[in-house]
Amino acid sequence: MSRQVIIYAKSIKSHLSRLSRWGLKGTLFEIEGVEGDKSIEGYLKIVDFLIEQDFKKSDLLVAVGGGSLLDLVGFVAATYMRGVDVAFVPTTLLAMVDASIGGKNGINRPWGKNSIGTTYLPKKTFLDRVFLSSVPLEQLYPGYVEMLKIAVVEAFSTLNGHTKIVEDKELSTFLEGWEFPPSDKCIEKARALKQTIIDQDLNEQGRRYLLNFGHTVGHALEAYLNYRISHGEAVQHGMVVEMELLGFPKKVQKKIISFFPFKSPFPKIEPELFKNILLRDKKNRDGRVAFSNVLNHNNKNFLTFMDPQTVVEACMKRNTYDCLHTRA
């Protein structure tokens, strides 16, 4: 008879009793469940525990926590005994709308985020919005940024090649209902939009590249700052810089930026070090930095490539602008 091993984040320990509603029960293993756990050491800690528990190929691994924990446990599941079944119980907004969908998992190294990983789908995902009911708004923010990213990607995919997208009214129609904090309806819509793209391109050969919007600069910031910046804040900065580099109309940039409830200055960077981190992105080609071509892909050419120095200068320009202007 198969068993279950439940890897859970320390912060949700008081909610573990809710797992019984889905028949999830078994041996428990607690970790912090933060970005710092996505490491070789964190990976081996879980693998060693599974070996100690005599975890079999027929058993079920269960991940209960936020995006970092799901990324880590998903990677363990993909590689332990060449693949074991895993179920996800996402407990943060970011995990619900992003990390639990699409099968991407992995661990970080000092020189890059998710630099070691696989694509491996969970057997089942269980949602319980009770986990969101008592958290501070700041903890919902990283997930909301991903939701807004998905909405923007969908808007431009739908209207690609149509100049009407530059009108406030057109963009507002696509962003209608994407308020903060998000409603249940908005969460379901974001999940459905991402799932549609995943169903079309699970292995990231084309359209799925669009979901990396904001992440080229965002991931580089996370690595540069040694993951002391939240994923949401990093991707928000990435979206702002990438909109400028991709040539988004100014009116559209302002409209999208207006949907961010929290705003902070772009971090100060050391140009050469930041450039070196940018150049480690796995999507790059021939020394040029890859970006999701959200604006002009016309259902092909989902990536566009830019000179790294141009990207660094755009980031430094944003830092200067943010430091000179008071942001609400």
pLDDT of res. 165: 53
In this structure, of 156-170, 197-211, 233-247, the range with the lowest mean pLDDT score is 156-170
pLDDT of res. 177: 77
Indicate which residues carry an active-site annotation: 82, 104, 146, 194, 204, 208, 212, 215, 219, 231
Q: Closest Cα to residue 5, out of 51, 43, 68?
A: 51
List of domains in the chain: 4-131 (3.40.50.1970), 136-324 (1.20.1090.10)
What are the pLDDT digits (tens) for 47-68?
A: 999 999 999 999 999 999 999 9
Element (H, E) at 217: helix 215-224
pLDDT of res. 295: 87
pLDDT of res. 179: 87
Q: Closest Cα to residue 91, out of 189, 207, 10?
A: 10
Share of the chain above pLDDT 70, in %: 95
pLDDT of res. 322: 87
| pLDDT over threshold 50, residue 161 | no
Please give the backbone phi and psi of residue 210, each rounded to the nearest 5 degrees, phi first. Answer: -65, -25
- Confidence band, pLDDT 50/70/90 cuts, at residue 328: very low
Dist. CA 102–CA 148, nearest whole Å: 18
In this structure, of 71-85, 116-130, 176-190, 307-321, the range with the lowest mean pLDDT score is 176-190
pLDDT of res. 169: 61
Q: Is the distance from CB of 95 to CB of 143 less than 8 angstroms?
A: yes
What are the pLDDT digits (tens) for 251-287?
A: 889 989 999 988 899 999 999 999 999 999 989 999 9
Q: Is the distance from CB of 211 to CB of 187 less than 8 angstroms?
A: no
What are the pLDDT digits (tens) for 167-195?
A: 556 677 778 778 899 999 999 999 999 99
Q: Is the distance from CB of 4 to CB of 26 less than 8 angstroms?
A: yes
pLDDT of res. 313: 97
Dist. CA 222–CA 220, nearest whole Å: 5
Average pLDDT, stretch 293-313?
A: 93
pLDDT of res. 111: 77
pLDDT of res. 229: 93
Dist. CA 301–CA 311, nearest whole Å: 19
Q: What is the pTM of this model?
A: 0.90
Tokens standing for residue 187: 């969460």
Dist. CA 263–CA 256, nearest whole Å: 12
What are the pLDDT digits (tens) for 209-258?
A: 999 999 999 999 999 999 899 999 999 999 999 999 999 988 889 989 99
What are the pLDDT digits (tens) for 4-52?
A: 999 999 999 999 999 999 999 999 999 999 999 999 999 999 999 999 9
Query: What radius of gyration, in Å, describes the C-alpha atoms of the chain?
Result: 20
pLDDT of res. 7: 98
